[in-house]
Amino acid sequence: MHSNEHHWSQRTFTFTFICDWLLPMGLLSLLIGLPLLPDRSLYHKLFYALIAAPALVALLVRPQELRPLLREPIILVFLAYAAWALLSIGWSDTEASIGSLLKRPLYIFMLLAGCCLLAQQSQQRFTRCMLIASLAALPIAFYSLAEIATTWRPGHRLVGPGALDNPLLSSHLFGFFCILWLGLGMTLPRQRGWIAVLPVLILGATLLATGSRTPLLAASLAGAWLALACWNKRSLVLALIGLCGLSALLLLYPEALLARGTSYRLELWQDALSRISQKPWLGFGFDAALAIQLPGFSVPFSEPHSFAIGVLYYTGMVGLSLWLAMHLVALRQCWINRANYLFVIAGALMVYGIGGGLAEGGGILARPKEHWFLTWIPLALIAALSFSQRTSETRT
């Protein structure tokens, strides 16, 4: 009897320790690790050590938590999509091992499960992690701006510190936190909303300094979401500021939007869609080879620079339907619960990711990297909020 009680006590302690300490540290490292760590391999290792492995252990020591997780709509649709992607390996020409490909959706599932368990155990701790990460992003953005200001030359674009190595990819991270702060400014009480003004300006300037245009479209869509979801006086102010900002950018710095044309996006999409027409329903299979050779480039493009087209190429119309369903379910949850400011902000992050993915990315079920800020991290946040709300309602 005492042995069983001791064993149960150990399992409870392990589960609580994981949810209260390891998963919060893992979420923080995932959100702000890239600009702070020297290389991506360490970023991956921290994810495995602080999120993937702990979430798996937590489910093993308390397997009864798996049942409510599998009732979460976002997780269910993700599992359906992941299952279809893995099934497509059967007709893919990938050279990667089956074991390597199986790990990728497992990592994402552990992210979803880890965030859900963290929010269920303590939603306050979960939101505190997001706040700490958003605060930590400010000195990182300020340092990045100061660095480019002292080394600027014509055509120079902001990249950022640490493991960040590409302006467009860096914009995903800075844009994520810019929208997070903008969401706080729109949802905090009137007497506190002003505290988000300076962070939005700093992160917005950082976003502009990357020279990337897709995030500007994504930020506009996220702003429209916030205006509609909040629908108050600040919505009109946000719309007016957005229009004035766009007008000022076109008048004072039009080359920021127009100088680089379409950046070969139309040619990439045309080539990718031509290939997709050969296998429209099933796609070419998970991790299938893709090399788009454009005139003037010695190295072919391995991505179509569009998440939707990438999903369509690898998993066909079936996979794209599940991919879209996953996002629609998440946005529906946010709209239904828009009285809760956390859902409003999470929805804005999701909309920003959708906008950012219109002309960027293309790989599916990848390891942790900047593209996660467009898809998997917003989905995990929404799933966690939904799971926490549903389990708390069940308990009461």
Provide the pLDDT for residue 45.
97
pLDDT at 7: 58
Phi, psi of 118, rounded to the nearest 5 degrees: -65, -50
Q: Are 326 and 77 in contact (CB under 8 A)?
A: yes
Query: Tell me: the pLDDT tens digits for 105-151?
Result: 999 999 999 999 999 999 999 999 999 999 999 999 999 999 998 88
Percent of the chain with pLDDT over 70: 94
Write down the pLDDT at residue 261. 59
Q: What are the tens digits of pLDDT across the range 310-358?
A: 999 999 999 999 999 999 999 999 999 999 999 999 999 999 999 999 9
**pLDDT confidence tier of residue 164, bands split at 50, 70 and 90:** very high
Mean per-residue pLDDT over the chain, rounded: 91
Neighbours of 125 (CB within 10 A): 16
Is residue 359 very low, low, confident or very high in pLDDT (cuts 50, 70, 90)? confident
Q: What's the CA gap between 85 and 93, in Å, rounded?
A: 13
Q: What is the pLDDT of residue 50?
A: 97
Q: Which of 87-91, 177-181, 303-307, 375-379 has the lowest mean pLDDT?
A: 303-307
Burial string for 18-31 (b: 16+ CB within 10 Å, else e) reads bbeebbbebbbbbb
Is the confidence at residue 394, as pLDDT, over 70?
A: no
Tally helices (H) and strands (E) across the chain. 17, 0
Provide φ and ψ at 352, rounded to 5°.
-60, -40
pTM: 0.96
- Residue 259 scores a pLDDT above 90: no
For residue 264, pLDDT over 90 is answered with no
| 8-59 pLDDT tens trace | 678 888 999 999 999 999 999 999 999 999 999 999 999 999 999 999 999 9
